[in-house]
Structure 1
Amino acid sequence: MEHNEILSILEGMLFLSGDEGLTIKQISSVLQLSKKEATEYMDELIQIENEKIIKGFEIVNFGGVFKFATLSKHHEYYQRMVEQNENSLSNAALETLAIIAYNQPVTRVRIEEIRGVGCDAMIRKLVAKALIKEIGREETPGKPILYGVTDEFMDAFSLTTLDELPELKEIKEDFDQEDIFNTKYTESAENSEVE
């Protein structure tokens, strides 16, 4: 395999790994390189990223795990963006939230199987909004995180218990295309504004 092709694949691997990041062991295994070669490619990729004229992220090494991270010098802008979006949930986030509420405790992999797409970003957003939280680990290889809803979720949707969630059959009949969570979340947000 060509040198630049390996760097290109490595960059894609870093992107796909998201918050979990990559270890040298994983890189060497996937690319079928020695650990020494994997380290050299990683060092070269870091150098290439650092030399870019315009960049919005960098490669960081946290305890032997490499991952992409936004530049800390731009923190105030990212914070502003998060604050502006604080009270809104996209349809994808609402869909993810509904899957967790109806299936908890549930792993990220199971959520993705139901949705049919990756949901790392949605889960991070929902955790940041304190609507979901880690409630344990599944006793399977890799011990994936199990997610469940929080008290804040219950408050946002004016629920005392999860038994108050409508039956999925009821939602389909009563709301057809309308998203029950979207409706409830909007109502809840309107009520808080009135107060």
Structure 2
Amino acid sequence: MPLFSIFKQELFEYVINKACRSRNKEHLLFFSFMIKDLKNIVESLLFVAGEPLSIDRFKSIIPKTGARDIKEALSVLGEEYDARKGGFFLRAVAGGYQVRTRPEYTEWVKRLAQNHSSSISRAALETLAIIAYKQPIIRSEIEHIRGVDCGGLLRILIEKKLARVLGRKEIPGRPLIYGTTKEFLEVFDLATLKDLPVPEEIQEKRAPDSDKVPDKNS
């Protein structure tokens, strides 16, 4: 991190602490001036983060800042991005916020990332769909629905961080229980599992290349 950025961060923390301990009008006015940088700080964090940032995560990074201030900063950023109509937008996803490229530019983003294919088989996607809609679920239940062995597919989904082990079911043999991950929500552009499409929506959106995992930057 550049020396100036470190100094600015330390100064920001000092002013906040000073304003909170003192009723001196000058300190409070200076604090008000510094807090205007909150939007830019939030934006900087969004751009360098490799995953969605929750409000609590923002609060842990930016000292003495309330959830309301952070939400207001995010709201202003979202409005600015929408008004600009540029190549990216702010999205609430996987319990946090993330800057994403607009869907209309997905083809160009794919060209940049063409050497890092994230395709998985249709069988793996079917298994993932069963986990997503039926979780928590054990392997025998998945195999009963699909009618074939799913051991290898479950390993692939776990390796790709789309599925995870939630624990063991308290029945004879204590089989592993499976569920989806935060990465699953991020990749499929879902804020929560409640946003999973219903069967009718799936049929409408079905495409020839539906055996590919979406680019989470889109």
TM-score class, shorter: 0.3 to 0.5
TM-score by length of 2: 0.43
When you count helix as a share of all residues, which structure comes out higher?
1
Q: Which of the pair has more CA radius of gyration?
A: 2
